[in-house]
Amino acid sequence: MPRTSYTALRQDIRSGDLIAFRGNGPVSRLIRHVTGGRHTHVGVAFWWWHRLFVLEAREGDGVRLRACSARLPFDWIATGLEWTDAAEQFAADTLDDPYSYLDAVRAGLGLKLQSGGFICSEYAAGIQKRCEGTGCAALPMGHPSGLVDYWLDLGRPLRSLK
């Protein structure tokens, strides 16, 4: 899939949109093998003071806010969700929460997540469920490609940015 310039589309990204990554490291290869999907990590776009960030839960770091420009390349899905105070409150309240390695294993085995921290898809779905708009009630939390496929199945376009 051809990649488009981040600077050309940055202004079109909205808080609540899905940001998805295709990693190449050993953990990413394992995620692709277990899930059968292309995407190995997800986060949610968030505008703050004219800067675009991604809210994400990452192994080794936990829940963090990072500049989107520092996370290139990535895929972007315009979800059409409307950002809410509830989404922002959840995102703020969970910053610095730990990454849940145990839930990552549970997700890989297809088991129910039990919290005590977050995996990326669980965190992204948690934010999006607090937004307003079509489709956010039944968001899957089990793995990154499941969340990406959910939005694609609803007809949302995926753009690859560099």
The CATH number for 80's domain is 3.90.1720.10
Label each residue of 63-110 as H, E or C.
EEEEEHHHHCCEEEECCCCECCHHHHHHHHHHCCCCECHHHHHHHHCC
- Reported as a single tens digit per residue, the pLDDT across 64-96 is 999 999 999 999 999 999 999 999 999 999 999
Residue 83 covered by a domain: yes
**Interatomic CA distance for residues 1 and 15, integer angstroms:** 24
Residue 162 covered by a domain: no
Give me the residues of the chain with pLDDT under 70, please: 1, 135, 137
Instruction: List all residues 6 or more positions away from 116 whose beta carbon is below 8 Å from its beta carbon.
Output: 98, 100, 102, 103
Residue 18 covered by a domain: yes
**Interatomic CA distance for residues 39 and 20, integer angstroms:** 6
Both tokens of 68, joined, read 């989107």
Residue 97 covered by a domain: yes
Instruction: List all residues 6 or more positions away from 124 whose beta carbon is below 8 Å from its beta carbon.
Output: 18, 42, 43, 44, 55, 56, 57, 147
Task: Note the pLDDT of residue 1.
Answer: 64
Task: Note the pLDDT of residue 22.
Answer: 93
Task: Note the pLDDT of residue 132.
Answer: 93
Please state whether the peptide bond connecting residue 73 to the residue before it is cis, i.e. omega within 30 degrees of 0. Answer: yes
**Interatomic CA distance for residues 130 and 152, integer angstroms:** 20
Task: Note the pLDDT of residue 141.
Answer: 78
- Domain carrying residue 57: 3-157
The reported pTM is 0.93
Q: Name the domain count of the chain.
A: 1
Residue 130 covered by a domain: yes
Residue 143 covered by a domain: yes
